[in-house]
Amino acid sequence: MPSASPVYAFSSALNEPDTALAILDKALSMQLDLGNAHMSAASVTSDLSISSSTSRGARCSGDKISATNNIHHNLSDPSNQLFDDNIFVMDENIKVEDHNDVLMMDNTNLNIASSNSSNNITTSISNSNSVDNISNNSSNNYLPSFLGNDEFSCPTTSALLCSSVPYPDCSMDSSTISYRHTHDHLTADPSQLGDSYDPFKCLESIAEQSLTGNFTTISSSSSLSVPFPSSMASSSTSSSCPPSLSSIRTSSSPSTSQMCLPSSARGAPSHDLMALNSQSSRVERCPRGGNSLESHSPSDLPSNVNSFPTHAGNPLAGQMRDFFSCPRQGSGFDHSFMSRDPDCRSRGRDMISSDSISSSIPKSSASSPSSSPAASLCMYSNNNIPINTTEYKLKSQHHKAGSSHCKTSPQSSNQRETIKVESPFNQSPPDCQNYSSLSCTFNNIGGRGGGRSVDAGGAVGAAIPNQGSAFDLEDSDNLLSWTFHHPDHWSSSNVLDWLFYLAQDLGLDMGQFRAEKFQNITGRQLCRMTQEEIISREPKFGQLIYQKFQHIRTGVIFKKPMSPDQLPENGCMQTMIANNINNNSGSHMSNPYNSAPSSATCSPCVQPYPCPPTPCYPPPGMSRPTCGGSPEEAFFEHDRRSNIAATGNIDMGSYEFDFIDSPCINNPHCQDPSQPDCSMYTGKLPTQASPVRTPCYFTAPPYPPQQQQRRRPGRPKVKHLVEDARRGRDKKAKNQHLWEFIHETLMNPLYNPQYLRWENQREGVFRFVQSEAVAQLWGGRKNNENMTYEKLSRAMRHYYKRGILERVEGRRLVYKFSIKAMDRAREKKHNSS
């Protein structure tokens, strides 16, 4: 513990609402990532300050963990007088996105708790009522080292600079810190700034440093503890709101919870979900869902709600990501793996397999399956334009049928016939391989634009993200990626997602859950593992894992595709999902795989059945003309559906064909003209006596492995397949050159230093910090979800010849812009400004 109470740079400033908001505004306008600093500041100030940061500060960090820890820290320090009885704890999962310069705050679990005793300080990290337990909880990886836990992420550079919070283990060195040469107050060692320290100037300087590229790198290896000028330090104020702020009492603990709103928010309904932004936006009831902001007392918090920081950002869409800082590596346990932040996890994923990259970065916000409180934050710009409201649903509050967005579905989903197909995996584990080419879709009710609920092995239902296409879901970090594939086709990351999903659903103690033992296990491998083997990896929960996995393996249920007349008029998937949920209001909620099995057989391909590429996988008993589109047609359908999902015009009544999982794709065997016709398909179902028609297609098992034709080198021909894909794409973004994108990303404090960082900006030397994450960003820019660092790096290497990049010998992931490229980048920036 630090010997003296830290004086927080922003604390006193935040005690003056106008000043606080001004600072925050400034930070926001600069798109500045304050990292932990702001939250730290917010957390140690009074409720008044928190109310400011509720709307503004979250943008800066999203790292509630440090806030909590700082609260803990301060409460533990009897000399600290900064607290009174009204402490608001900003929970994690706060994301703020910046759309058109207007703040949008968006959080899955905005828990505003208050307490008048330290023991009730909410921490949904560990769900502990005891503050002391927080630091002792082994599952909490994020505590500052001065609390006795080494797993703590250092603040960002800007946070270090602008915060006087002592981070003993977070040093600045020449590779991480650049100061703008001309700023006097930053040219010196920050620790020597003393009374000259000015948070405004600090912010300004950092922003300029980040955005202008006019740097001088200096070396400093000292740990940073910027002394705050005594003149600015002051103790916290009372719990009551100052005249300039109105007060909102939160629902769960009205006696103590109080949230001070900027005066502009006065009159807003106290129990409605709000976004607070006193200066650039107003607060109103959300028009769509009517969800309420729920304030939760500590006891209200689900035990597992914050087991992982939820990455709710959407970098692929060019939006701000949340600023969760990854836990630091290197203490014997790979916390990047534990982290549900895909950025943090990407390292772990990299170690797992490159084929799991597609889910490294979410494309859409989606609540964690276990997230309980719904939150829908609505922000309005000054011109009353609603800003990209994102909703997170309560389990019981999905899109209501008949809402303005959905017409009522005439057919409730539970009336659909379901078919239970005994999984061919229900045999002893070694048999799994015999059916390895099974390509089934688990994605059969939601379709594009709809979420899904899943059952992690018959556990419980899950909240369904209401937005995003199926592909979004797969890509997102909502732990549902495994639902897209048959267990035997799970990648190692699918396995991890399932494990974490299971853990969350069952409320397993993450501190004891050794999911990392399955880090390199694919679904097939898991399929082959005996109970003993699983238990040997995970002694505590191994049996449970085994049982749940067997449940999934053997309990695959497919639903019959709906005929057109069963579809909602406008094909609103949300309606269907809502109905599905509403009609499954029992304890087992809307589980597409858990419906009562039916003896009904799958009807022949109901058009517009998206058939798999033929001649490989027509559903058994189906003729090619009905079902068999060419691979190109199938691709068109796929692409068309993607577009539909993107536009919200959802075409209904079809299964999703799992292209990703299709063993046909890139499988020379499949394109063998000698392959039997679809109807002749010989793959066997476990119950061959009563073959059923399902969207689950079989092909001859690849075992014993056949001699596969070697693929010809080069990019495969997919002529005419991308016509649809072209539509609607942002040409400008799409045509951006890779090197320009890289440079732009480097200049963006949202991604630098988290994804990319300068090694020497003046020289143009930079390094990939999270190579796959950058690749995904690039892929997002180009609407190419299959982008990998491997491919990106190939494109980068082409630049060597063209004189855009220069080789940096001996250093992995390090590249260097040529002078020519740097000049061009400068020129471009100059022209654009």
Partner DNA sequence: GTGATGTTTCCTGATT
Partner DNA sequence: AAATCAGGAAACATCA
Please give the full DSSP string across 541-603, using - where no structure is assigned: THHHHHHHHHHHHH--EEEPPPPGGGS-TT--HHHHHHHHHHTT-SSS---TTSSPP--PPPP
Q: Which of 482/815 has CB closer to DNA?
A: 815
Closest distance to DNA from the beta carbon of 377 (Å) = 34
HSE-CB of 650 using CA atoms within 13 angstroms: 32
Nearest to 671 by CA among 619, 723, 717, 625: 717
Closest distance to DNA from the beta carbon of 726 (Å) = 4
Q: Which of 719/830 has CB closer to DNA?
A: 719
Closest distance to DNA from the beta carbon of 668 (Å) = 9
Closest distance to DNA from the beta carbon of 652 (Å) = 27
Distant-in-sequence contacts of 753-756, Cβ < 8 A, 24+ apart:
753/156, 753/157, 753/176, 754/326, 754/343, 755/343
**Distances, alpha carbon 537 to alpha carbons 496, 503, 533, 541, in Å:** 14, 15, 6, 9
Nearest to 30 by CA among 66, 7, 60: 60
Q: Which of 3/831 has CB closer to DNA?
A: 831
Q: Which of 358/476 has CB closer to DNA?
A: 358
Q: Which of 394/792 has CB closer to DNA?
A: 792
CA distance 611 to 194: 69
Q: Which of 218/317 has CB closer to DNA?
A: 317
Q: Which of 717/830 has CB closer to DNA?
A: 717
Q: Which of 288/824 has CB closer to DNA?
A: 824
Please give the full DSSP string across 492-526, using - where no structure is assigned: HHHHHHHHHHHHHHHT--TTT--GGGGTT--HHHH
Q: Which of 565/809 has CB closer to DNA?
A: 809
The sign of the torsion formed by the CA atoms of 780, 94, 212, 187 equals negative
Closest distance to DNA from the beta carbon of 715 (Å) = 4
Length of the chain: 833
Closest distance to DNA from the beta carbon of 354 (Å) = 6
Q: Which of 398/816 has CB closer to DNA?
A: 816
Closest distance to DNA from the beta carbon of 730 (Å) = 9
CA distance 399 to 161: 44
Closest distance to DNA from the beta carbon of 632 (Å) = 10
Judged on CB neighbours under 10 Å (0-12, 13-18, 19+), 676 is: middle
Closest distance to DNA from the beta carbon of 776 (Å) = 11
Q: Which of 572/634 has CB closer to DNA?
A: 634
Judged on CB neighbours under 10 Å (0-12, 13-18, 19+), 518 is: buried
CA distance 443 to 645: 14
Please give the full DSSP string across 60-121, using - where no structure is assigned: G---HHHHHHHHHHHHH-TT-----S---EE-S-EEEEEETTEEEEEES---EE--SSGGG-
Q: Which of 673/810 has CB closer to DNA?
A: 810
**Distances, alpha carbon 444 to alpha carbons 485, 578, 655, in Å:** 12, 15, 5
Are 305 and 283 spatial neighbours (Cβ–Cβ below 8 Å)? no
Closest distance to DNA from the beta carbon of 515 (Å) = 17
Closest distance to DNA from the beta carbon of 521 (Å) = 11
Closest distance to DNA from the beta carbon of 791 (Å) = 4
Q: Which of 266/807 has CB closer to DNA?
A: 807
Q: Which residues bind DNA (CB under 7 A)?
A: 350-354, 520, 666, 710-719, 721-722, 725-726, 729, 731, 734-735, 737-739, 771-772, 778, 782, 784, 786-787, 789-795, 797-800, 802, 807, 809-810, 812-814
Closest distance to DNA from the beta carbon of 442 (Å) = 23
Closest distance to DNA from the beta carbon of 378 (Å) = 34
Closest distance to DNA from the beta carbon of 804 (Å) = 7
Coil, helix or strand at residue 342: helix
CA distance 377 to 280: 15
Q: Locate tokens 């063998």: which residue?
A: 672
Closest distance to DNA from the beta carbon of 662 (Å) = 13
**Distances, alpha carbon 830 to alpha carbons 194, 212, 739, 825, 827, in Å:** 36, 10, 17, 8, 5
Q: Which of 505/772 has CB closer to DNA?
A: 772
Q: Which of 504/667 has CB closer to DNA?
A: 667
CA distance 88 to 50: 7
Work out the angle at residue 763's Cα, subtended by the Cα atoms of residues 758 and 765, and round it to the nearest 5 degrees: 40
Structure tokens at 288: 């769509």
Nearest to 304 by CA among 364, 365, 368: 368
For the chain, helix, strand, coil in percent to 5 are: 35, 10, 55
CA distance 344 to 311: 10
Are 612 and 662 spatial neighbours (Cβ–Cβ below 8 Å)? yes
Q: Which of 540/797 has CB closer to DNA?
A: 797
Residue 394, sorted as left (phi over 0), alpha (psi -120 to 50) or beta, turns out to be beta
Work out the angle at residue 802's Cα, subtended by the Cα atoms of residues 796 and 806, and round it to the nearest 5 degrees: 60
Does the bond joining 704 to the residue before it have cis omega, within 30 degrees of 0? yes
Q: Which of 710/830 has CB closer to DNA?
A: 710
Closest distance to DNA from the beta carbon of 793 (Å) = 4
Please give the full DSSP string across 214-252, using - where no structure is assigned: --EE----SBP-PPPPTTT------SSPPTTEEEEE-SS
Work out the angle at residue 500's Cα, subtended by the Cα atoms of residues 773 and 314, and round it to the nearest 5 degrees: 35
Q: Which of 687/786 has CB closer to DNA?
A: 786
Question: Which amino acid is present at 251?
Answer: S
Closest distance to DNA from the beta carbon of 534 (Å) = 19
Please provide residue 765's backbone torsions phi and psi, each rounded to the nearest 5 degrees.
Answer: -90, 130
